[in-house]
Amino acid sequence: MMDDHAIPAVVTSVDVPTVVLDGGTRPWLTAAADAVAETLPRAHRQTLAGQQHNVDATAIAPALITHFTS
pLDDT bracket for residue 7 (50, 70, 90): confident
Amino acid at 21: L
Q: Which residues, 6 or more positions from 10, have their beta carbon under 8 angstroms from its beta carbon?
A: none
Q: Where are the beta strands (DSSP E) in 1-70?
A: 18-22, 43-47
- Through-space distance between the first and last CA atoms of the chain, rounded to whole angstroms: 27
21 torsion bin: left (phi>0), alpha (psi -120 to 50), beta (else)? beta
Q: What is the pLDDT of residues 13-50, one digit of tens each?
A: 999 999 999 999 999 999 999 999 999 999 999 999 99
H/E stretch holding 29 reads helix 27-39
Is 1's pLDDT higher than 70? no
Domain ranges of the chain: 17-69
pLDDT for position 11:
84
pLDDT for position 49:
96
Is 59's pLDDT higher than 60? yes
pLDDT for position 3:
64
